Chain A
Amino acid sequence: MTFIKVRSLQSKILVLFLFLLFIAQLGGFFYTYQANVKLESIQLNNRLNNAADVFNTQFNNRRYYLSAFAETVAKDYGLKSVLKEDTRTLLVALNNHRKRIDSNLALVLDVKGKVLGHLFTNKQADGTDKIQRGTNDGLVFEHSQTLLGQDKLAQLVTLNGKLYQLNFAPVKEGARTIGWIGFGYLIDAELALDLAKLTGVHIGFVNHDGDSYHVIASSDNTNYPTDGEVYKGIIANTEQKYLYRRVELGNIGDGYVSAILFESRADLLKHIDIQWASLAILLSLSLILSTLGAVAIARSITKPITKLVKQAQSITQGNYDQSVDVSNSKELQQLSEEFNHMTKAIVSREETISFHAFHDPLTHLPNRNSLINTLETLADKQQPFLLIQLCYLRADEITDTLGYQVGDEVTMTVARRLESSQLDINAFHLGAEYFVLIVKPEQAEQLIDKLLAILNVSCHFERIALHLQYAFGIVDSTQYENSSASELLKKSSVAIQRAKSAKKSFEIYNPVFDENTLERLFLTNSLKQAIEEDQLTLHYQPKLCLATMTVSHAEALVRWQHPEKGLIPPDEFVSIAEKTGQMAALTRWVTKAAFDQYLTWQQQGIVINIAINISAENILDESYPDFVINLKKQYQLDDNAITLEVTEDAVVDDPKQATKMLSYLRDNGFKLSVDDYGTGYSSLAQLKQLPVQELKIDRSFVQQLENDENDKIIVKSTIELAHNMSLSVVAEGIEDEYTLNWLKEHNCQLAQGYFISRPLPSAQFTQWLETTHYQVKRVNYNK
């Protein structure tokens, strides 16, 4: 049904049905019509055949009738006895006989064929017949040669321009023929009409003499005149509109006479036309009924579909309670069952999805979404509570060293313990090592102790005992009643980060924390800009050579002079730079600035080694060594003009790469120093292999040196150790004279600290050099 754009299934079925019906009806109609035409044609042929048979019978009957009558009359003694009497007597007797069969012609001939009596009828204007005498009395009858003594039935003769069927019988005297008596019928329009009525077809008589045909009479002279086209067509055998038969009647002279029986095909079609009308009525009636039927069928098919559509719509709206029941057909029932199954499947999947939406896939504890909902519910009820975010520490290390599976198991263990605790807590899992608890307000320290009692149980994984440490961030809901759920959660995050960074077991949220956090975010965004726009400056802290009490070195320390925030300490933005991948750019900036300063001081005649801090990231960045080496060549700096301080941690992360890189730098004339020595985990073996010249003892060992004997031991042994390994030693964090002197006594090479000077901007540092009581190494440097 592509040629009709029908959208609805019902219409499609309807159209298809009607189309098929129409075709079927048309086919049936056509077939019926054809059959009718054929039947009519056969009937017409049959009718003509029957008519021909009837005609033949009738015509032969007439012949027989004439013969028999002539025979009878010939033997009539009355007539026989007056045969040779006077003519009038004979004619009267003859006419008496003629009237009995109403013949049109009566003849009495003598044995030689001479006419003794001749009577014939003549049609009058009023339709009646009048008997007339022939005028050939005493003459030999013109057809006596052909007719007399022939033992045949009635013959055809033309007499006075009329065609007769005529039969003679001999009048005998004993065996002796003494005369002839004959009777004849006219073959004329009247006969044609009579036979036409009898046979039901049109009839015409045709005389064929030699070459030409001549229609003598027609049964319907009005419609089919004897000289009409129909007869001409039939005679010429070209007539198509009529079916016809020829019946030979007999010879006459050289020619012969035949009857033509014919029937118009048009009459037949007229008959069929009537059937056409009734068929058309039948067709339209059946079309109407079929249409109604098709509508009903289409409805019965589409009704369940409509039901299913409604069901689908209600599922779309989330209403799963309804189920459809369609029992019209097996297929549709199956479909509806599948539909109901589908609904159930959707419900079950939705439950799963819903579960996953509100529960952590690993621990199956309620997740953050669930937490938000719970918090909102609590807020609505205005119930006070404590929001505690907790995490176990060193999660990354656990996964890094023991694998993700162990990490997951640890997380699971924590979750299970929270779940199974007897405390009145609601536990949620935010993801990874982070959990949230909602508890009724109570004293924080006690609560944490109780929690730790549950959680501080060592875990055993793959024969390794892990003693988990935790950090808690606590938010008291009563203090932040206007905060939304997510804001509360964020506050707890801030608190826990605070606790972690402060290495405390817990922290209660304070709004001050927020500002720092925001600031960090702000700094992160503007650090790049700061590097590009020279908002950074370098401060220098002098290092004193204890042997000569000369300011021989300075450590370059980066400061951020923010246009709005003022001076930002490095602790804050260096870690940001490390985390945001801006360390390379920052270090490069610092390096270049330090080199510039070195040149500046060199031009002023001040000889001072500048130390630059490089991070672990810089060490792993293979392009940095080349950068700094090229810069040194470019600035034409002497060897050992620049010290590169590397933290112990940086070396520990990738000793092989660090060794390779440090060797490369040392070979290119840089002095290398291990920064913050003592805080990391570097082994002596590693230290031994590092191509460094200097150790820098972390300030934590130095700051309390005066009062702490342990520190003294550590520092002293470190100095000795370094010296044994041919390394010079720098101590930082010197804040008093005692320490300075103690270090000098113990042969520490360089000292750095507030006691000598705090870090100063370059200009102030230059000025400090002018005023300090320590020696400064100067040269006459003229370029």
Chain B
Amino acid sequence: MNKLASLLLKKYLPLVLLACISSLKAETLVVQVFDQTNKPIKDIVAFAIPKFAIDSLPSNTSQVVIDQKDKKFAPYMTVIQKGQKLTFENKDDITHHIYSVSGENRFEFKLKTGETKQTQALIGVEEIAMGCNVHDWMSGFTLVVDTPYFGKTDDKGNLSFNNLKPGNYEISVWHPQLDAEQHIQSQYFEITQGLNTLDFVLKKALLPIPTQQGQDEFDFLEEY
């Protein structure tokens, strides 16, 4: 393993050096997600899971808030680290009844206007589908990942992971409309010293994202 590492090191030394120069800290992975037509995809969740033994991964304890605004989950997609809690904040002037009834991370609560409620620490690593029992069309997803390395791509489809220790990682892309097993496409990637870039090409095009909007016959609801 060391031989191979040293071989790679020799080979990519200039690159590593460049990376060391530009960021004097640890290794960085830049994942850029493309579709089949080479078009970068923004706002898609990517996460990296180290496939080597790590004593402890840092825990993300920041509060993740999902707003109910304009009878929509905002954001539509959320990704959190296992053990984190989700906070729902009703910014509409109507009561919402947020639920997730399948899987391990079940919760439900009614949120009156302006109310904020927090789930328990979600420990089930899975995709959580969320709905509102009052507003059928409202749909939101939260992915619970067992890694601190996750994020959403920017407008150019890029997502940077910093402070990664070199090693083998499973790089995954998740989107509720990704037509794959558990809506996740993964690949392994060896992160080395310095700047690593990964062009992540989706095997299939994303399915259209359902609009969180009521049917026209409920127009009157828009006023409330």
Pick the contact of B131: A84, A174, A179 (CB < 8 A).
A174
Is the CB of A518 closer than 8 A to any CB of chain B? no
Q: Chain B contacts of A172 at CB under 8 A?
A: 131, 136, 139
Indicate if B210 sits at the interface (CB-CB under 8 A).
yes
**Complex interface: chain B residues within 8 A of A80 (CB):** 99, 101
CB of A75 within 8 Å of the partner chain? yes
Determine whether the beta carbon of B139 is less than 8 Å from that of A77. Answer: no
A354 at the interface (CB under 8 A from B): no
Q: Max chain B CB contacts within 10 Å: which of A81, A174, A178, A179?
A: A174
Count of chain B residues with Cβ under 8 Å from any Cβ of A? Answer: 22
Enumerate chain A residues within 8 angstroms of B132, measured Cβ to Cβ. Answer: 174
Chain A minimum-CB-distance residue to B139 = A174
At the interface, is chain A mostly helix, strand, loop or mixed?
mixed
A-B pair number, CB within 8 angstroms? 49
Q: Is the CB of A175 within 8 A of B139?
A: yes
Whether B176 sits at the interface, judged by CB under 8 Å, is yes
Does any Cβ of A come within 8 Å of B169's Cβ? no
Contact of B102 among A75, A77, A173, A175 (CB under 8 A): A173
Contact with A along B171-214 (1 / 0, CB 8 A): 00000100000000000000000000000000000000010000
Contact indicator B140/A84 (Cβ below 8 Å): no
Say whether B133 contacts A173, CB under 8 Å. no
A84 touches B101 (CB 8 A): yes
Q: Which of B101, B130, B131, B138 has the most CB of A within 10 A?
A: B101
Q: Is A430 an interface residue (CB 8 A)?
A: no
Contact between B102 and A174, CB atoms less than 8 A apart: no
Question: Do A178 and B102 touch (CB < 8 A)?
Answer: yes
Do the beta carbons of B108 and A173 come within 8 Å of each other?
no
| Cβ-defined contact, A176 with B139, below 8 A | yes
Produce 1/0 per residue, A176-191, CB < 8 A to B.
1011000000000000
Which A residues lie within 8 Å of B141 (CB)?
174, 176
**Cβ contacts under 8 Å, A178 to chain B:** 101-102, 129
Q: How far is the CA of A175 from the CA of B183 in the complex (A)?
A: 14
Encode A69-105 as 1/0 by CB contact (under 8 A) with B: 0000001010011011000000000000000000000
Q: How far is the CA of A740 from the CA of B120 in the complex (A)?
A: 218
Contact yes or no, B101 A81, CB < 8 A: yes
* B97 contacts partner chain A, Cβ-Cβ < 8 Å: yes
Closest partner residue, chain A, to B108 (CB atom): A81
| Distance of A178 Cα from B140 Cα, bound (Å) | 14
A81–B176 CB distance below 8 A: no
CA distance A774 to B132 in the complex (A): 204
Judged by a CB distance under 8 angstroms, whether B118 is at the interface is no
Residues of A within 8 A of B95 (CB): none
Residues on A with beta carbons closer than 8 Å to the beta carbon of B102: 83-84, 173, 178-179
In the assembled complex, how far is the CB of residue A108 from the closest CB belonging to chain B, in whole angstroms? 13
Number of interface residues of A (CB under 8 A): 13
B104-156: which residues lie under 8 A (CB-CB) from chain A?
106, 108, 129-133, 136-141
What is the chain A residue whose CB lies nearest that of B100? A173
Q: Contact at A175–B210, with CB atoms within 8 Å?
A: yes
B210 engages A77 (CB within 8 Å): no
Q: How far is the CA of A740 from the CA of B141 in the complex (A)?
A: 206
Please give me the residue from chain B that is nearest to A82 by CB atom. Answer: B101
A77 close to B176 (CB less than 8 A): no
Contacts of B131 in A (CB 8 A): 172-176
Contact between A174 and B97 (Cβ–Cβ < 8 Å)?
A: no
Known interface pairs A75-B136, A81-B108; A174-B101 also in contact (CB < 8 Å): no
With A173-B129, A174-B140, A175-B210 as given contacts, are A77 and B97 in contact (CB-CB < 8 Å)? yes
Residues of chain B with a CB closer than 8 A to A84's CB: 101-103, 106
Contact bitstring A137-174, B, C-beta under 8 A = 1, else 0: 00000000000000000000000000000000000111
Q: How far is the CA of A77 from the CA of B99 in the complex (A)?
A: 9
Query: In the complex, which residues 346-375 of chain A have their Cβ closer than 8 Å to any Cβ of chain B?
Result: none
Q: What residues of chain B lie closer than 8 Å to A83, measured between beta carbons? A: 101-102
Q: Chain A nearest CB: distance from B219 CB in Å?
A: 20
The chain B residue with its CB closest to the CB of A79 is B101
| A390 and B64 alpha carbons, distance in the complex (Å) | 180
Provide the residues of chain A in CB contact with B137, threshold 8 Å: 175
Among A75, A173, A179, point to the contact of B99 (Cβ < 8 A): A173
Q: Is the CB of A81 within 8 A of B129?
A: no
With both chains docked as a complex, state the minimum distance between the C-beta of B182 and any C-beta of chain A, in angstroms: 12
CB of A178 to closest CB in B, whole Å: 5
Min CB gap B119→A, angstroms: 15
Set of chain A residues within 8 Å of B139, measured between Cβ atoms: 172, 174-176
Complex CA–CA separation, A173 to B126 (angstroms)? 14
State A179–B106 Cα separation when bound (angstroms). Answer: 16
Please measure, in the bound complex, the distance between the C-alpha atom of A173 and the C-alpha atom of B176, giving whole angstroms: 12
Contacts of B100 in A (CB 8 A): 173
Q: For the complex, what is the distance from the CA of A600 to the CA of B117, rounded to whole Å?
A: 204
List chain B residues, Cβ under 8 A from A179. Answer: 102
**Chain A CB within 10 Å, residue with most, of B73, B99, B132:** B99
A81-B136 contact, Cβ under 8 Å, with A172-B131, A174-B130: no
Task: Enumerate chain B residues within 8 angstroms of A77, measured Cβ to Cβ.
Answer: 97, 99, 133
Name which residue of chain B comes closest to A83, CB basis: B101
Q: Are B97 and A176 in contact (CB under 8 A)?
A: no
A77 to B133, CA, bound (A): 7
A117–chain B nearest beta-carbon distance, Å: 15
Q: How far is the CA of A450 from the CA of B139 in the complex (A)?
A: 170
**How near does chain B come to A300, taking the closest CB pair, in angstroms?**
83
B104 to chain A, nearest CB (A): 10
A525 CB, min distance to chain B CBs, angstroms: 148
Chain A residues closer than 8 Å to B138, beta-carbon distance: 174
Residue of A75, A81, A84, A173 most packed against chain B (CB within 10 A): A173
- Ordered nearest first, which 9 A-B pairs have the shortest CB separation? A174-B139, A176-B129, A175-B139, A174-B131, A173-B129, A175-B210, A77-B133, A178-B102, A173-B131
Residues of A whose CB lies within 8 Å of any CB of B are 75, 77, 80-81, 83-84, 172-176, 178-179
11 residue pairs from A and B, CB less than 8 Å apart: A75-B136, A81-B99, A84-B101, A172-B139, A173-B99, A173-B102, A173-B130, A173-B131, A174-B140, A175-B137, A176-B139
Q: Besides A81-B99, A173-B99, A173-B100, 9 other CB < 8 A contacts? A: A77-B97, A77-B99, A83-B101, A83-B102, A174-B129, A174-B132, A174-B141, A176-B131, A178-B102
